[in-house]
Amino acid sequence: MAQHPMKVVLLDLDGTLTKSDGGIIASVVKTFEELGRPVPDDAELHRFIGPAIIESLRRNHVPEDELDRAVTIYRSYYADRAVFDDPNEPGNKVPGRLVNVVFPGIREQLLKLRADGYYLALASCKPEYQCVPICEHFHLTELLDGIYGASRDNSRLDKDQVIRYCFDKIGFDAAAGDKAVMIGDRFNDVEGAHAMGVPCIGIYSGAAAPGEHEAAGADAVVHSVAELAKLFAI
C-alpha cells in the first residue's frame, strides 16, 4: 500500500545516470552491418540514444518487414555478445550494455535524494529486462526504489507508457497529493513526462543537441549533476 503523499523522481538511464553511448552506438553499427545496410552517420547514430530502438531503426529507413530481425540483432550485441572493449577493465570483452560508466556525482545525488524522502524510480525506454542487469552491474539497484522499463514485446514502448506503468505499480495518486518530476537527457523524456502531466528537468549530459530540451518545453534545464543538485537544494 502506497504511503501518500509521495515525492517521486523518475530517472532516465542512458545519458542520464550512465554514459552509455559507446555501447549503444557500437551495437547499432553491428546491426546495420549484419543487415547489409549503410551505417548511419555519426550525428544520426547519436540519435539512437534515448528513444526505443525500433523507433530509431524505423526512422533510419529499415523496412517494416526487417524490423523484428534488426531488433533481435541489436539486442544480441547489446545484451549478450561479448565483442566490445570494456572501458572499465582494459583487455576485457563485454556486450554493448557494459560499454558504459556511471556519471560522476550520480551516486551521491541519488543517496541525497533518498535521504530527503524521494521515491527514486528508473523510467527507461530500454526494455526492463536489460535495465535490471545494467543497474545491478553498476551497483545502482541499491540506490533506486524501483526499476521500470519498456516491455520485451514493444507493447510498452514510449516514455509516457513507461511512466504510466511505473505509476500503476507504485500506486501513484495525484489526487492524494503525490507529486513527481522526470529527469532525462532527451526530448522524449520531456514529451513523455508532459503527456502524463509530469514536469521534466532536461539535463545536457547525454546525446541531446543544443537547444533540444528548450525546444521540447523542459520545465528546467541543467548542464551537469552539480547543477541538478543545486536545483533540488532550492
- The domain ranges of the chain are 7-19+100-233, 21-98
Kindly give, in sequence order, each residue whose CB lies less than 8 Å from that of residue 32, ignoring residues fewer than 6 positions away. 38, 39, 40
What is the residue whose three cell numbers read 551497483?
139
pLDDT of residue 3: 87
CB 84 within 8 A of CB 26: yes
pLDDT of residue 1: 47
pLDDT of residue 234: 56
Per-residue pLDDT of the chain (234 residues; tens, 9 = 90+): 478 999 999 999 999 999 999 999 999 999 999 999 999 999 999 999 888 899 999 999 999 999 999 999 999 999 999 999 999 899 999 999 999 999 999 999 999 999 999 999 999 999 999 999 999 999 999 999 999 999 999 899 999 999 999 999 999 999 999 999 999 999 999 999 999 999 999 999 978 999 999 999 999 999 999 999 999 875
CATH of domain 21-98: 1.10.150.240
From the list 79, 91, 71, 66, the residue with the least C-alpha distance to 23 is 79
CATH of 7-19+100-233, one of 3.30.930.10, 3.40.640.10, 3.40.50.1000, 3.40.50.920: 3.40.50.1000
